[in-house]
Chains A and B, each alone.
Chain A
Amino acid sequence: MFESELQGRIRWSTVRAFFQAALKQKSPLLTGLFALVFASAGWSAVSLYCGELADRLMDLGRSGAVVHRDQRLASLFLIVIGLLYLMYLGNRYGRLYLNQTLIRALTDLHARAMNAVLAAPMSFFHSTPSGRIVSRFSNDFHNASQSLDRTMATFIYACFTMFFSSIGILRNQPLVLGVAVPFALAIFFVSRFFGRRARDQQRAASRAAALVLAHVNETGNVGVSARALGLAQRLEARMNTLQSNSARLSLATAETSNLRAYVQSVLALCLIAIAFFVSAEAHKAGALTLGQAGAVITLLMLILRNFVLVIELFNTIEVGFVSIERMVEFSLLPAEKDIQQTSLAQESESALLKFENVALRYSPNEPLILKGLTAEIDSCKMIGVVGRTGAGKSTLISALLRFTPLDEGRIILRGVDLASLTIKEARRKVALVPQDPVLFSGTILENIVPGGSFSKKKAHEEIYNLLSLVGLGEWVAQLPAGLRTHLLERGANLSQGQRQLLCLARALAQSPEILVLDEATSAVDIETERLVSSALQKIKTQIPILLIAHRPVTIRSCDEVWVLSEGRISRIGSPQQVFAEELLQ
């Protein structure tokens, strides 16, 4: 499954994907980087000028000259103060532009991940619970944003400061380099050792956090029945187990980083100590002026401080990149295969809908569910599909909506092979009323015309006609806000039956060529069912209806019943005939 694949170092592709997103806005990114480089160079330069200033003071002191009349001293002071001022400007605009770029890049990444998730094939959703998906857009997006857009600028600034300070030191005291190399190597290896551990721990922690979030999401749904059974404390117990596991893992991650920072800073301190001695010896031997020695030491301290900072920030950033990696992974999800096959169907095909030897399995290793299903609808009528559980009723819907590609055979709708269309074209021709009547937050209008609500709105009259057809016309008309009445998430402020009728209206608003109802009238009472039935009677004069049903009252108005068993159609007949046969068995 998805959660267990990632291990080892952060992949370059992740970092690249992120910076590609950032590079979309070249000029603010480059401006920001340039300003930060400028500021950090300034910082190191100040320390060097400090040295010159100190030496000048020494000279003046030795010669007994009047300090405040000395032009060179004054100009050195001015240089230092001017450099500091430029440094602030660089710091300010560097952060401003760099952070802007990063914030935008993250939003961009979020959008790409979201779009890829929505376009992913159904098999992805079957294997990934929604809590885990949402967790990446909540936990991971939050982490990435926390750890990157606040720290990246400081990180870059500190890195450049180290770089420029090293140049400053090398100018004055190249010997230090000989000491620095082995220590830098040691620090590097320590960093790699701990870093690997921290990353893997962080990934484990992310997975554990996703489980906790999934559980919390569930408790809202499961709570009512658990409470009725007096079992709410078991949900709490489960939460405690999951949360303490998650807490243990995130603490472990943080502690690894902490230990790494400690070991590295002590190593760096050793480096400084040795460099200090080298400089002191050089000064004693007269190879360095006092100002130069002081500058070297100050720069060394500067490097040490920035080094510790860089390590700490690096951890934070790395943790951020683990989160980014999880989002990039989503953005790289393969989209549904949208292969259009060349159609072999003839234009003159008389059937409205034809299944030709349709075979289908959900994944290569699983057995076939539909095993050569062949059937035909030749005129606009209502077909009821019945069969025991596992006979392939839901799979038939999967095939029609192209949720799963066919292994064999063809489905031909009004002379067009469904496989010859793009997935979207095919789905627009097939309308589904799902088993669970799901509505989205938004107005009734937005629910009925979800795809087109932002571009081509259907005329209100047309929508009212649809609503009247399903028996909701009067009810909507009497609502104070009419079509603009706001529905809550999952249509929480409607009854189950009202939701189902709205779902039917929504399906019809798609102007489909076939309507598929998936046990859609299960929770509708007999009178509403009559309303639905009479609506269906009107609809079936225009398009064929496929009704996946179980209850006799539902299919009694069907013109034809298909009995599905073991992936094939075993019997076609009128409702009365099918009833009669079932009675005999």
Chain B
Amino acid sequence: MKNSRSNSPDLISALRILKNSTAFRIATRTVKWPLAVASLVLLLATVVGLVAIDAQADLLVYLGGSGAHDWSDLPSMFSFFVFAQVAFESLQWGRRSLQNRISVAITGTLRRNISNKYSEMRYADLQLISSGDVAQLHASDASQLAGVWAEGILSFVATLVLTLGVSIFLTLQVGVSGLAFFLVLFVLVILAQRFARRTAPTLQKRAEYSALRLSVIQESVRSISLVKSLTAEEEFEHRVAKQAELEQDMKLQANAISCAYVPVFASLRWLGWAGLLLWVVYAPIFFGEPLVPVVLVGLVFSVNWYSSLLQDSFLFVGTYLSFIQVGAVSALRLDQFLDRPSARAQFFLPRTEEVDLAVEDVTVDYPTRTGQWALQNASMNALRGKLTVIVGPVGSGKSTLLRTLLGELSPSHGRVLRRTPLKVAYLAQDVALPSASLRDVLRYEFENLGHDDIRLGELLELAEFAQDLESLPAGLSTAVGERGVTLSGGQRLRVGLAQLSYFSDADALLLDDPLAALDAATSEALMAGLICGLWANKTRVVVTHSPALIARADWLVRLEAGRVVEQGPPAENTLIRPIRSNEHLSPTSF
């Protein structure tokens, strides 16, 4: 995602990006009704706000006209002013409340979409996404896109409507000075647009640096024991600090730009006063007729008040606009993630009845290195109810073959065959368990439904985990932690196997090195109990280095450098030669 589009959105193109953005469409659809109500409240608040301002101006003028009246209207005028103010505040409260709801609803919907997309992503696509990017999308981009509606557009429109209202109001009351506001309004919109164009690239770069920073943090925290054993803490401090500083530079740049525009946005009040000066001092020269002093007094305060009001609004215009822009940048990033084509696995029907799974002449490219293949013209069958074992040296494509059978990788050539209907279960080499209690992990059930601990206990016993279970502090309720970190590699494998046996309705099992990191006695028990016991009638495709399991295979496939070099029943297969040479150590008996 580093190569996101580099053309920086000014305000117009930011809006265009948002218009075409999937993420923004999702966001808007979620909050259609709250948005409509919020707009209505906004409009109402503006009208009431103007009425309150008017009431205040009337009060000032009334106050200025002392001697001309007997003060009898003061209580009613004043009550009206207070009433209008309270009504205005109440509407503001409602508007803020709606904005909060809009913001939370959009963020939530986007986060759900990100998570679902991420969990649907096939292995091939996952390799192209860094976890820092996902964290960044989740933590910043989702809320920034929510800011487009909640903080950006709604507030910007509110400012525009208010400015327009005050301008009309002032024009009616003060003439020239009010017209000056219109002129300023026009100039300001143009300036705001320029401001937006200048800040955009820094905002985009900032998001990219932030994603990189999070990637490094994640890497180091997840493998902290390794980092510590390598005494590489400083190295990672340095890497994180480097990214954080790049990010900081972008923030400083954005700050410098927005501060440069502060006086521009604030010039409104200055112009208001200049208009007043012209009107009060020089108009009488041309019109001869001096204004009534009382009106003048009201005028002075009105101009001072309105211009400060508008100045404040415009001080924030830059912020509102930057919300829209930042949101547009986030929308681009979110779209790249959400619009990523999720290629569905394509399976063909095997020609013969006894084949459950097969590949035919498949070539698979490395997801991260196009043009370099991990498998080349490989063909193999997994027969129904048989144990197929895949062997081969490191990097020869064993896991890739398994993932291709699973449909997680798309071959650039050849076909993947699968009988329908066929339920396939998979155990990855590096078993990842969701962080939950052992009970929930086994059942893949996170809503704390009823317990069936007896059955789970039996399954764990089958998976040779009974002894480990006793040593766990809270038994089945023990939290196995993120990625199952509280368990050793061997324990994770066995929990993974128990999990598979909980979902016993699978017809075929694809196991990636299920006996690694296990002692010989445990391996033997697992082979006898599960792989060649409970699952004896299922179709099994197993990647392994275990000589004992190889010896039990119905069919052996040997890979070398991405090609199937030999396959056949084990007895007549030459590939077990290296294993035989180890047999003097009686490997199965330890």
User: Chain A 46-75, CB within 8 Å of chain B: the 1/0 string?
Assistant: 110010011001101110001110000110
Do A401 and B135 have beta carbons less than 8 Å apart? no
B218 touches A525 (CB 8 A): no
- Which residues of chain A are within 8 angstroms of B127 by Cβ–Cβ distance? 488, 492-493
Please tell me if the beta carbons of A579 and B586 are within 8 angstroms of each other in the complex: yes
Q: Evaluate contact between B225 and A434: CB separation under 8 angstroms.
A: yes
B115 pairs with A239, CB closer than 8 A: yes
The answer to whether A553 and B582 have CB atoms under 8 Å apart is yes
Instruction: Answer whether residue B348 sits at the interface, using C-beta atoms and an 8 A cutoff.
Output: no
B266 interface contact, C-beta 8 A = yes
Chain A residues in 8 Å Cβ range of B244: 107, 110-111, 114
Known: A219-B119, A229-B444. Is A138-B228 also a contact (CB below 8 A)?
no
Identify the closest chain A residue to B519 (Cβ).
A550
Q: List which A323-378 residues lie within 8 A (CB) of chain B.
A: none
Bound-state Cα–Cα, A337 to B539, Å: 53
A115-B237, A241-B447, A450-B232 given as contacts; is B82 within 8 A of A269 (CB)?
yes
Does chain B have a CB within 8 A of A498? yes
Known: A224-B426, A493-B127. A125 touches B277 (CB 8 A): no
A67 to B483 Cα, complex, angstroms: 82
Q: A68-B285, A243-B111, A298-B305 are in contact. Are A213 and B90 (CB under 8 A)?
A: no
- Is B129's CB under 8 angstroms from A220's CB? yes
Shortest distance from the beta carbon of B195 to any chain A beta carbon, whole Å: 14
* B101 lies within 8 A of chain A by Cβ: yes
Interface-centre pick from B282, B308, B503, B586 (highest chain A CB count, 10 A): B308
Across the interface, A290 reaches (CB within 8 A) one of B63, B368, B579, B589, namely B63
Pairwise interchain contact A553-B587, C-beta atoms closer than 8 A: yes
Residue interface mask B97-140, A partner, CB < 8 A = 1: 10011011101100110111011111100110111101110111
**Chain A residues within 8 Å of B6, by CB:** none
Q: Does A38 contact B (CB under 8 A)?
A: no
Q: Which residue of A lies closest to B241 (CB)?
A: A111
A503-543: which residues lie under 8 A (CB-CB) from chain B?
506, 510, 519, 522-529
* Chain B residue contacts of A46, Cβ below 8 A: 304
Please state if A149 and B255 are interface contacts (CB–CB under 8 Å).
yes
The residue on B at minimum CB distance from A390 is B471
How many Å lie between the Cα of A178 and that of B544 in the bound state?
A: 86
Tell me which residues across on chain A come within 8 A of B121, comparing CB atoms. 220, 223
B-contact 0/1 string along A112-148, CB 8 Å cutoff:
0011011100100110011101110111001001000
Are B394 and A526 touching (Cβ within 8 A)? no
Q: Which of B7-15, B173-181, B294-302 contacts A (4 or more CB under 8 A)?
A: B294-302
Interface presence of A259 (CB below 8 A): yes
Does more than half of chain B's interface fall in helix, strand or loop, or is it mixed?
helix
Within residues 127 to 182 of chain A, which ones have a CB less than 8 A from any CB in chain B? 129-131, 133-135, 137-139, 142, 145, 149-150, 154
A498 to B288, CA, bound (A): 95
Q: What are the residues of chain A within 8 A of B267 when measuring CB–CB?
A: 88
CB distance from B350 to the nearest CB of A (A): 19
Q: Are A96 and B468 in contact (CB under 8 A)?
A: no
CA distance A316 to B302 in the complex (A): 31
Q: Would B293 and A58 count as touching, CB distance under 8 A?
A: yes
In the complex formed, the residue of B with least CB distance to A446 is B235
Question: Given A298-B301, A551-B520: A88 and B270 within 8 A (CB)?
Answer: yes
A265 contacts partner chain B, Cβ-Cβ < 8 Å: yes
Please report which residues of chain A, range 272-290, place their CB below 8 angstroms from some CB of chain B when the two chains form the complex. 273, 276-277, 280, 283-284, 290
B305 x A550 contact (CB < 8 A): no
- A137, B214: Cβ atoms closer than 8 Å: yes
Instruction: Report if A184 contacts B (CB, 8 A).
Output: no
CB–CB A122/B135 < 8 A: no
Residues from chain B with a CB closer than 8 A to the CB of A57 are 280, 293, 296-297, 300
Residues of chain A with a CB closer than 8 A to B228's CB: 122, 401, 403, 427
Contacts of A53 in B (CB 8 A): 300
Proximity string of chain A (218-250) to chain B, C-beta cutoff 8 Å, 1 when within and 0 when not: 111111111111111011111111011011001
Q: Is A80 an interface residue (CB 8 A)?
A: yes
Are A454 and B139 neighbours in the complex by a CB distance under 8 Å?
no
Residues on A with C-beta less than 8 A from B475 are none
A50 / chain B contacts, CB cutoff of 8 Å:
300-301, 304
Contacting pair A236 B225 (CB below 8 A): no
Report the separation of the CA atoms of residues A430 and B510 in the bound assembly, to the nearest whole angstrom.
38
Q: Which of the residues A74, A228, A231 comes within 8 Å of B406, measured between beta carbons?
A: A228
Indicate whether B419 reaches chain A with its CB closer than 8 angstroms: no
Contacts of A284 in B (CB 8 A): 66, 71
Whether A81 lies near B274 (C-beta < 8 A) is: yes
Binds B, one of A14-22, A195-203, A409-417, A435-443: A435-443
Q: Are B394 and A493 in contact (CB under 8 A)?
A: no
The answer for the CA separation of A77 and B282 in the assembled complex, in Å, is 13
Taking a contact as CB atoms closer than 8 A, the residue among B100, B229, B489, B578 that contacts A431 in the complex is B229
Bound CA–CA A496/B228 (angstroms): 22
Tell me the B13-68 residues at the A interface (CB within 8 Å).
56, 60, 63-64, 66
Shortest CB–CB separation between residue A418 and chain B, in angstroms?
Answer: 13
Asked whether any CB of chain A lies closer than 8 Å to the CB of B380, the reply is no
**Known A-B contacts A137-B214, A269-B86; A95 and B481 likewise in contact (beta carbons under 8 Å):** no
In the assembled complex, which residues on chain A have CB atoms less than 8 Å from the CB atom of B444?
A: 226, 229, 231, 234
Closest-CB distance, A232 to chain B (whole angstroms): 5
Give the segment of B158-166, B355-363, B432-440 that binds chain A.
Answer: B432-440
CB of B231 closer than 8 Å to a CB of A: yes
Is the C-beta of B343 less than 8 angstroms from some C-beta in chain A? no
Q: Are A495 and B263 in contact (CB under 8 A)?
A: no
Contact B217 A67 (CB under 8 A): no
Decide: B394 and A525 in contact? CB cutoff 8 A.
Answer: yes
Closest to B263 in A: A88
- Identify the closest chain B residue to A454 (Cβ): B238
A222 surroundings in chain B (CB, below 8 A): 119, 432-434
In the bound complex, how far is the Cα of B222 from the Cα of A278, in angstroms? 66
User: Knowing A67-B281, A227-B120, A493-B369 touch, does A276 contact B446 (C-beta < 8 A)?
Assistant: no
Question: Roughly how many angstroms separate A273 CA and B138 CA in the complex, as a whole number?
Answer: 47
A81-B270, A95-B262 given; A73·B281 CB < 8 A: yes
Task: Flag whether B290 is at the interface (Cβ < 8 A).
Answer: yes
Shortest Cβ distance from residue A103 to the other chain B in the assembled complex, whole angstroms: 5
Please provide the chain B residues from 488 to 511 with a CB less than 8 Å away from any CB of chain A in the complex: 488-491, 496, 500, 503, 506, 510
Residue B336 CB within 8 A of the other chain: no
| CB-based contact B519/A217 at 8 Å | no
A254 touches B445 (CB 8 A): no
Give complex CA distance A215, B589 in Å.
42
Provided the pairs A81-B277, A221-B483, A277-B78 are in contact, do residues A239 and B116 lie with their beta carbons within 8 angstroms?
Answer: yes
Given A131-B482, A269-B85, A432-B578 contact (CB < 8 Å): no
Asked if A528 contacts B226 (CB within 8 A), the reply is no
Asked if B554 lies at the interface with its beta carbon under 8 angstroms from chain A, I say no
User: How far does the alpha carbon of A495 sit from the alpha carbon of B229 in the complex, in Å?
Assistant: 23
CB-CB contacts below 8 Å: B243-265 with A: 244-245, 247-248, 251-252, 255-256, 259-260, 262-263
B76 at the interface (CB under 8 A from A): no
Residue of B with least CB distance to A309: B312
Shortest CB distance A457–B (Å): 13
Is A266 an interface residue, CB under 8 A from the partner? yes
Inter-chain contacts of B589 with A (CB < 8 A): 579, 582-583
Inside 8 A of B500's CB, which chain A residues have their CB?
229
Residue of A nearest to B123 (CB): A224
| CB atoms of B89 and A92 under 8 A apart | no
Chain A minimum-CB-distance residue to B218: A134
- Report how far A290 CA is from B269 CA in the complex, Å: 23
The 6 closest A-B pairs by CB, nearest first: A497-B394, A61-B293, A228-B426, A221-B432, A495-B395, A138-B139
17 contacts across the A-B interface (CB closer than 8 A): A54-B297, A54-B301, A68-B282, A118-B224, A137-B214, A218-B434, A223-B119, A225-B496, A228-B406, A228-B426, A239-B115, A261-B96, A262-B90, A262-B92, A432-B226, A496-B430, A550-B490
Q: A262-B92, A388-B519, A440-B220 are in contact. List 9 more A-B contacts (CB 8 A).
A: A54-B296, A115-B233, A134-B135, A229-B506, A234-B445, A262-B89, A450-B232, A523-B516, A551-B590
